[in-house]
Amino acid sequence: MENKKRIVVFASGSGTNFINISENIINGQVVLLVSNNSKCGAVDYAKNNNIDYQIINDFRYPENRNKEYEIVLNNYQPDLILLAGFMKKIPDNIIQLYRNKIMNIHPSLLPKYAGQGYYGIKVHEAVIDSKDKVTGVTIHFVDNKYDRGPIIMQEEVTINDSDDANILSKRVLKSEYSLYLKVVELFCNNKIKVDKNRVVINE
């Protein structure tokens, strides 16, 4: 295990992407879950599977909250940080410390349906309302603007005429599982580089 990349996952909800990566990653190891929600499914999974977890929210040491993230991460020395349905903006100090080592998954083909307020089912509702024929999944590195960091990989999902937001979300989620795992494995195998804000993948 000493050669595996150390992965920290941030999640606020059910944590299905966190669970999928934890159970299927080959060349990485999830060493910590960070959440702002002590009662979420992701925390339950961490507890039941002997994965360390830390709860960081707005109510503990609010004046030092950004520093708290830094202290927690320093204790685990992650090679990669994954956002998996984390409902808080990552502090700028963490983005600077872990530049091009923080990934996020977004349930649309960025730059469409991006920014504050576009998350989860809200994205799929907007896609359905737009009458688009294609949507998809985007994995990107995180910078200090919502959903605007360098795109690593995208995958299209066809929208059927009979789809509503809930039906579409289930199909998009299947793509999320496979694409996020693929990208994380590529990173763990040192196949992903960033050159002048452009992602280069050597598969």
HEC readout, the chain: CCCCEEEEEECCCCCHHHHHHHHHCCCEEEEEEEECCCCCHHHHHHHHCCCCEEECCCCCCHHHHHHHHHHHHHHHCCCEEEECCCCCCCCHHHHHHCCCCEEEEECCCCCCCCCCCCCCHHHHHHHHHHCCCEEEEEEEECCCCCCCCCEEEEEEEECCCCCCHHHHHHHHHHHHHHHHHHHHHHHHCCCEEEECCEEEECC
Residues 75 and 128 in one domain: no
pLDDT digits (tens, 9 = 90+) for 117-168: 888 899 999 999 999 999 999 999 999 888 889 999 999 999 999 999 999 9
Q: Are residues 117 and 176 in the same domain?
A: yes
Is the domain of 87 the same as that of 120?
no
pLDDT band at 61 (very low <50, low <70, confident <90, very high): low
Q: How many domains does the chain have?
A: 2
Tens of pLDDT, residues 73-128 = 999 999 999 999 998 889 899 999 999 999 999 999 999 999 888 888 999 999 99
Query: Are residue 35 and residue 80 in the same domain, yes or no?
Result: yes
**Residue where a domain stops, chosen among 98, 119, 134:** 98
Q: Are residues 111 and 195 in the same domain?
A: yes
**55 and 129: one domain?**
no
Whether residue 25 sits in one domain with residue 56 = yes
Residues 93 and 115 reside in one and the same domain: no
Residues 117 and 192 in one domain: yes
- The reported pLDDT for the residue numbered 147 is 85
Residue numbers of the domain that contains 70:
1-98
Q: What is the pLDDT of residue 63?
A: 62
What was the pLDDT predicted at 158?
Answer: 97
Catalogue the active-site residues.
106
8 A C-beta contact, residue 103 and residue 139 = yes
Q: What is the pLDDT of residues 167-203, one digit of tens each?
A: 999 999 999 999 999 999 999 999 999 998 899 999 7
Q: Please indicate, yes or no, whether residues 172 and 84 belong to a single structural domain of this protein.
A: no
Region 22-50 average pLDDT: 97
